[in-house]
Chains A and B, each alone.
Chain A
Amino acid sequence: MQAFVKVRGIAVPLAASNIDTDVIMPKQFLKGIDRSGLDRGLFYHLRFDEQGSPRPGFILNQAEWRDAAFLIAGPNFGCGSSREHAVWGLMQYGIRCIIAQSFAGIFFDNCARNGLLAIELGEEEVRRLLDLVSSPADNVLTIDLNNETICGRGLEIDFEIDPIRKDSLLKGLDAVGQTLEFRDEIRTFERNYLRENPWLEQK
């Protein structure tokens, strides 16, 4: 997993609420057995028209935001389907951090498992960030995970993140490898648990 420590980059505002994972990564891009090619699928119907040409009105197609590393989004970002392809696509496009008032639970966990920093902020703070980065001259932010700060022109916002998530993001840890350190503990738990619930042993 890619580590996140301190990143400076362009932030793109996408203020709509309830941007779902069908919008982030439409079904026609879910047909692979690997993770490749998902940058093209990101926000596909918003970015491209029926002929596959870029829609000039969509903000990620505009020169000032095209190379965005951060996304400032409306509430309940990533709702709907569990498809992790949405997170893979965002990262392949170059998005390293998403800031929103709230995230859907599965999407939030998928971000953490892939090193995509998801920051929850209050409504007022998200609005300040949306206003700031809507101006091309002010759309560069620096996000420092270690110090839990977001800095832009004339603005510094503190954020909170739970320590376990922070640690694994900072170090880019492999969660499976970490958990397997507890292998013996899991075995012991399982043995006792199945003895007490013997009907779970059978298929």
Chain B
Amino acid sequence: MHRARTLYDKLVDRHTVRKLDEHAQQVLLYVDRTVLNEYTSPQAFTALRIAERPVWRPAAALGVVDHVNPTVVGRIAIPEDAAKQTSYFAENCRDFGIEIFDMKHAMQGIEHVVMPEIGLVLPGMVIAAGDSHTTTYGAFGALGFGIGTSDIEHYLATQTLIYKRLGSMRVTLDGDLPPGVRSKDVVMALIESIGASGATGYAIEFQGGGIRALSIEARMTLCNMAVECGARGALIAPDEKVMTYLSKTVRAPRDELWRLASERWLSLQSDCDAIFDREVILAAKEIAPMVTWGTSPDQAVKITECVPDPRMQADPVRRHAIERALAYMDLRPGQPVNTIQIQAAFIGSCTNSRIEDLRDAARVLDGRHIASGVRAIVVPGSMSVRRQAEAEGLDRIFTSAGFEWRQSGCSMCLAMNDDVLARAERCASSTNRNFEDRQGAGGRTHLMSPAMVAASAVAGRLADVRQLVGER
């Protein structure tokens, strides 16, 4: 009998090596590929060395240095602890036969920017990696999710994971986005609406006309940040846009294999009568540019709105959370968010550092200059993105506007390298997490799209990009 299945169901079923319980709620899941970084993988390799276990399929892993490397152009010296991580990483990749893009490699970049851009993320794959933003790969109809170091070890040794099936949530974006509104705003509006744990225990599938209209890069932003509402998987059924994107990548299959694969890929979708455990519908026309005011990604408002007043919140736990966030962020209840002054602006991260993001920000900055008292940096998502941007002259727009033009890495998104906010410094940031101390001890983060970061850097305060440029 035909049982209607979601795309998520189909991917999990297709990768099930064996059921671990009666109802196949837990399965041994075959994983197609991983990407490794220098800070979550070392203990996994050490465990393999101690147990004298080989890597099951070395060709299905790629190592990329991204978290600890400096991004200042020409800076090569790194602190001793970071050097120890990068050298042990190189040693592990070499000894276990895994390809590595180290700090000086021409293809180096942020893992979730590098993997798709070279064509290593293919529709229908399951990809698990030691970084929570592995959900990015859902933009290609691949099930990507983050795992801890013990599961990296499990993957490397067995090519599988012990996996518990998630619930399914459909998020439908109805209609087209208004001018000046980006996929970052969509995902921030979703997180604000369902909460920071609203999709915990679920895999999201994004559907609807608004999603189809998005570019692949915009879809990556959406899937990337789905983890901020707890989703451990975010899928978009592959379409012709995915095929076009992949056909330009260096490692996608070619010729006969391409014909075979692309035909299969285009058939990957949820059955039309599949039932989702939860449904969320977003009206595109109601979404506006978003900014966070607090210390959790769900503490966000439209740029035209005000900082909330905790006294209006009846639930004591929520009220306390707002009070705590306002104290950390040093904000007043009722303050219009577009009056919040900033001292720093950051464009980068696996959420928003791809070429379209840089073009979008550069359009805002062209012919303008950042406000005095603001320091601004732009960190391209990969060295390929950096080269492409330079070929288009975007670097000159950024530097003329007063931005520093950097080399690639995770940089100030989590500040594991030397790109750090000072205590009490306030930053407009195109990243994904506004947690306390995330970008530096005592630093204050406001999340938003890259175009909004650019507009805010120019204004010296959080600003509505729609007022700066005649928007498409």
Asked if B158 and A179 make an inter-chain contact with CB atoms under 8 angstroms apart, the answer reads yes
Is there contact, CB below 8 Å, between B40 and A26?
Answer: no
Per-residue 0/1 for B6-37: is the Cβ within 8 Å of any A Cβ (1 yes, 0 no)? 00000000000110110001101010100000
Task: Indicate whether B68 reaches chain A with its CB closer than 8 angstroms.
Answer: yes
Interchain nearest-CB distance for A103 vs B (Å): 8
CA of A76 to CA of B191, assembled, Å: 14
| Interface: A89 (CB within 8 A) | no
Residue from B153, B157, B197, B321 in contact with A16 in the complex, judged by beta carbons closer than 8 Å? B321
Cross-chain contact B261 with A83 (CB below 8 angstroms): no
- Known A23-B436, A76-B196; contact A34-B132, beta-carbon cutoff 8 A: no
> Once bound together, how far apart are the Cα atoms of A102 and B199, in whole Å?
11
- Whether B435 contacts A113 by the Cβ 8 Å rule is no
Q: Is there contact, CB below 8 Å, between A27 and B416?
A: yes
Beta-carbon contact of B200 and A199 below 8 Å: no
> Complex Cα distance A75/B320, Å?
14
Given contacts A164-B26, A199-B261, contact A105 B40 (CB under 8 A): no
Q: Which chain A residues (22-44) contact chain B, with CB distance < 8 Å?
A: 22-23, 26-27, 30-35
Residue pair A106, B232 in contact (C-beta under 8 Å): yes
Q: Is A9 part of the contact surface with B, judged by Cβ < 8 Å?
A: no
The CA of A82 and the CA of B152, in the complex, are separated in Å by 11
- Among B17, B148, B437, find the residue whose CB has the most chain A CB atoms closer than 10 A: B148
Q: Could you tell me the distance between the alpha carbons of A103 and B88 in the complex, rounded to whole angstroms?
A: 32
**Bound CA–CA A162/B25 (angstroms):** 10
**Bound complex: CA A197 to CA B15 (Å):** 12
Are the C-beta atoms of A82 and B232 separated by less than 8 Å? no
List the one stretch of A60-68, A133-141, A147-155, A186-194 in contact with chain B.
A186-194
Q: Would you call A186 and B30 a contact (CB within 8 A)?
A: yes
Query: What CA separation (Å) do A80 and B21 show in the bound complex?
Result: 29
Cross-interface CB contact of A20 among B200, B251, B258, B435, cutoff 8 Å: B435
| A110-B230 in contact (CB<8A) | no
**Among candidates B17, B146, B320, B324, residue contacting A186 with C-beta atoms closer than 8 Å:** B17
* Least Cβ–Cβ distance between A165 and chain B, in angstroms: 9
Q: In the assembled complex, which residues on chain B have CB atoms less than 8 Å from the CB atom of A22?
A: 414, 433, 435-438
Is B76 an interface residue, CB under 8 A from the partner? no
Per the bound structure, the CA–CA distance linking A59 and B320 in Å amounts to 17
Question: Which B residue sits closest to A179, measured CB to CB?
Answer: B158
Q: Quick check: A176 and B21 within 8 Å, CB to CB?
A: no
- Choose among B40, B151, B230 the residue that contacts A113 (Cβ–Cβ < 8 A): B151
Contacts A17-B317, A190-B30, A202-B257; A30 near B39 (Cβ below 8 A): yes
The stretch of B79-87, B350-358, B372-380 that contacts the partner chain? B79-87
| Complex Cα–Cα for A182 and B18 (A) | 9
User: CA separation between A127 and B157, bound complex, in Å?
Assistant: 41
Q: What's the least CB distance linking A170 to chain B, in Å?
A: 16
- Binary flags per residue of A68-112, CB closer than 8 Å to B gives 1, else 0: 000000111001111110010000000000000011111101100
Instruction: Give the shortest distance, in Å, between A89 (CB) and chain B (any CB).
Output: 13
Residues of B within 8 A of A79 (CB): 196-197, 230
Interface-centre pick from B68, B132, B159, B164 (highest chain A CB count, 10 A): B132
- Closest chain A CB from B48 CB (angstroms): 9
Cβ contact within 8 Å between A106 and B324 = no
Contact residue among B124, B162, B258 (Cβ-Cβ distance under 8 Å from A179): B162
In the bound complex, residues from chain A placing their C-beta under 8 Å from that of B153 are 176
Choose among B79, B230, B264 the residue with the greatest number of A CB atoms under 10 Å from its CB. Answer: B230
Chain B residues 99-148 with CB under 8 Å of chain A are: 99, 122, 124-125, 130-132, 145-148
Contacts of B84 in A (CB 8 A): 31, 33
Does B208 lie at the interface of the complex (its beta carbon under 8 Å from any beta carbon of A)?
A: no
Given contacts A74-B317, A199-B260, contact A31 B148 (CB under 8 A): no
A31 touches B81 (CB 8 A): yes
Given contacts A105-B201, A189-B30, contact A35 B43 (CB under 8 A): yes
Residue of A nearest to B56 (CB): A186
Q: Which listed residue (B157, B230, B436) contacts A105, Cβ 8 A?
A: B230
> For B88, what are the chain A residues with a Cβ–Cβ distance below 8 Å?
33
User: A18 vs B322: C-alpha distance in the bound complex, in angstroms?
Assistant: 12
A113 B160 Cβ-Cβ under 8 A = no
Residue of A nearest to B162 (CB): A175
Q: Is the CB of B230 within 8 A of A76?
A: yes
Distance in angstroms from A60 CB to nearest chain B CB is 17
Indicate whether A82 sits within 8 Å of B147 (C-beta atoms), given known contacts A15-B317, A203-B251.
yes
Q: How far is the CA of A200 from the CA of B265 in the complex (A)?
A: 13
Determine the distance from Cα of A106 to Cα of B232 in the docked complex, in whole angstroms.
8
Q: Chain B contacts of A180 at CB under 8 A?
A: 53, 157-158
Q: How far is the CA of A199 from the CA of B40 in the complex (A)?
A: 29
Q: Is the CB of A84 within 8 A of B436?
A: no
Per the bound structure, the CA–CA distance linking A190 and B261 in Å amounts to 18
Residues of B within 8 A of A27 (CB): 414-416
Q: Is the CB of B148 within 8 A of A87?
A: yes
Which of B21, B151, B201, B261 touches A164 (beta carbons < 8 Å)? B21
Cβ of A47 under 8 Å from chain B: no
Contacts of B159 in A (CB 8 A): 186, 190
A45 & B17 in contact (Cβ 8 Å cutoff): no
Q: Which residues of A contact B180 (CB under 8 A)?
A: none
* 4 additional A-B residue pairs with CB within 8 Å, beyond A23-B435, A82-B146: A81-B433, A113-B148, A164-B26, A183-B158
Which 4 A-B pairs rank lowest in CB-CB distance, beginning with the nearest? A113-B150, A84-B148, A76-B197, A110-B148
7 pairs, A vs B, C-beta closer than 8 Å: A16-B324, A74-B317, A75-B197, A82-B147, A106-B132, A175-B150, A199-B260
